[in-house]
Amino acid sequence: MSGHGDPIPMISHKCGPLTGVAHVPGDKSISHRSMLLGAMTVGETRITGLLEGEDVLATASAMRAFGADVERLGDGDWRIYGFGVGGFAEPEDVIDCGNAGTGVRLIMGCMATSPITATFTGDASLRSRPMGRVTDPISLFGAAAYGRSKGRLPMTVVGARNPVPVRYTTPMASAQVKSAVLLAGLNAPGETVVIEAEATRDHTERMLAGFGAEVDVQVTGEGRVITLVGQPELKPQTIAVPRDPSSAAFPVCAALIVEGSDVLVPNIGLNPTRAGLFETLREMRADLTYENEREEGGEPVADLRARFSPEMKGIRVPEDRAASMIDEYPVLSVVAAFAEGKTEFVGVHELRVKESDRIDAMARGLEANGVCVDEGEDWMTVHGMGPDGVPGGGTADARLDHRIAMSFMVLGMAARMPVRVDDGSPIATSFPIFENLMAGLGARIERSNR
């Protein structure tokens, strides 16, 4: 799985109104965690609505390599027979996590407190990303990690023989780092404490509690203090994975910028640690409403209705909202190009270390399509051109980044001239039905062999 197949160049043409109902796939974050926690129970965990993107499939293969019995029963319907907390077997071969930063970082956390050795790799994007943010805290438990320079993959992790619990303050707003520490804490005796200055997505805390671990969360002057009691017996669960707000972002944003559109995106989780994009769009005066608001599995859920919004105005996106929409800045930068005035992103240095350097990838791609962008190390400003003002006609380099590829396909739906991406193949990591789903709403995306 490391290295994608042949590149798939894609081209998106200006289209007529997008209309209809868009059922987006299951949540990527919750899908990874369902696999991992299912593997750490003894007994059968059932998952429905699992995202069957390449990232999650890589995590499923990894759990098999560590000794779990993982079986696909039907579309999105999976069964895992786990090995229990601390029951990790040593894999016989290198674990290839493909494009998945969440996958590799969370798995490293999970196995770091078991007495085994595992070697991890991934595709060119994943091999360029920093792993020190996880190997630093897992070394406090007693694990050791040996990778390439700058903490990059391939990397071998030697799990702790006699793990000790840890108290750790995350140095950056990262749910992956927080989660890796909590998952490592599962097999350490006593209490592991993670402190995060800014709230990041809280699926790990919620799901650990759901699987029967003792987890306490306090909001203090230091931030969110999460305490986990180690060595619990996790209980198998039946999990219905909610649909992914980060995937919903694409049909929602496309509908806002394509004239005459009216799209319903049902059953989207609006956990406040994930819903920052929708709040921002509403502040920009997008016609985006929440219908049928309800609670499911303790999480707020709604059907999102997005309609063409020619009146959108640029805003300064508050820095303290960044963590709750960190994956959505690429597609928001596309919407910002069709708003009036400038949209400012601040405090977004984490965008530099995602599947690609997303500030650079969006700035260069927008410029290639006639949009003016200013950028600095941790900020970016998009100069909006109004509802019919974006020229298009350029090619964007997707850089093995699914969200960059999808964002430029959305740009092409409303720009005056078609927009190309050099390679749309990474879209399959998180949203394998993207092309069909968007075509069903009225988009005109083609695979083009230039």
Q: What positions carry a catalytic annotation?
A: 327
Least distance from C-beta 442 to ligand S3P, angstroms?
A: 28
Q: Which is nearer to ligand S3P, 87 or 132 (CB)?
A: 132
Amino acid at 177: V
Question: How far, in Å, CA of 287 to CA of 320, rounded?
Answer: 24
Question: How far, in Å, CA of 124 to CA of 127, rounded?
Answer: 5
Give the DSSP H or E segment for 427: none
Least distance from C-beta 29 to ligand S3P, angstroms?
A: 3
Give the pair of three-digit tokens for residue 421: 């991406």
Strand, helix or coil for residue 382: strand
From 66-74, 175-183, 215-223, 271-279, give the range in contact with ligand S3P by CB under 6 A. Answer: 175-183
Q: Which of 2, 31, 135, 174 binds ligand S3P (CB under 6 A)?
A: 174
Site string for ligand S3P, 23-52 (x = CB under 6 A): ------x-----------------------
Least distance from C-beta 152 to ligand S3P, angstroms?
A: 15
Asked if 176 touches ligand S3P (CB under 6 A), the answer is yes
Asked if 343 touches ligand S3P (CB under 6 A), the answer is no
The bridge status of strand 144-148 relative to strand 342-346 is unpaired
Asked if 102 touches ligand S3P (CB under 6 A), the answer is yes
Asked if 170 touches ligand S3P (CB under 6 A), the answer is no
Q: Which of 77, 262, 344, 350 binds ligand S3P (CB under 6 A)?
A: 350
Burial class (CB in 10 A: 0-12, 13-18, 19+), 447: exposed
Cβ contacts of residue 120 below 8 Å, gap of 6+?
94, 95, 96, 97, 104, 107, 108, 153, 154, 155, 156, 157
- Footprint (CB under 6 A) of ligand S3P, residues 184-213: 201
Asked if 356 touches ligand S3P (CB under 6 A), the answer is no
Which residue matches tokens 């030697």?
158
Which residue matches tokens 């929602």?
252
Site string for ligand S3P, 48-87 (x = CB under 6 A): ----------------------------------------
Amino acid at 128: S
Task: Give the chain's end-to-end CA distance (angstroms, integer).
Answer: 25
Strand, helix or coil for residue 47: strand
Least distance from C-beta 175 to ligand S3P, angstroms?
A: 4
Least distance from C-beta 157 to ligand S3P, angstroms?
A: 18
Asked if 360 touches ligand S3P (CB under 6 A), the answer is no
Q: Which of 2, 34, 179, 333 binds ligand S3P (CB under 6 A)?
A: 179
Amino acid at 91: P
Virtual torsion, Cα 164, 132, 212, 95, nearest 10 deg = -110
DSSP 297-331: TTEEEEEEEEE--TT-B--EEPGGGGGGGGGGHHH
Q: Which is nearer to ligand S3P, 9 or 137 (CB)?
A: 137
Question: How far, in Å, CA of 413 to CA of 409, rounded?
Answer: 7
Q: Which is nearer to ligand S3P, 179 or 333 (CB)?
A: 179
From 80-88, 170-178, 182-190, 390-398, give the range in contact with ligand S3P by CB under 6 A. Answer: 170-178
- Greatest CA separation for the chain: 62
User: Site for ligand S3P (CB under 6 A): how many residues?
Assistant: 10
Question: With contact defined as beta carbons under 8 Å apart, do 176 and 106 qualify?
Answer: yes
Asked if 358 touches ligand S3P (CB under 6 A), the answer is no
Asked if 326 touches ligand S3P (CB under 6 A), the answer is yes
Residue nearest to ligand S3P (CB): 29
Asked if 175 touches ligand S3P (CB under 6 A), the answer is yes
The residues of the shown chain that bind ligand S3P, judged by CB under 6 A, are 29, 102, 174-176, 179, 201, 326-327, 350
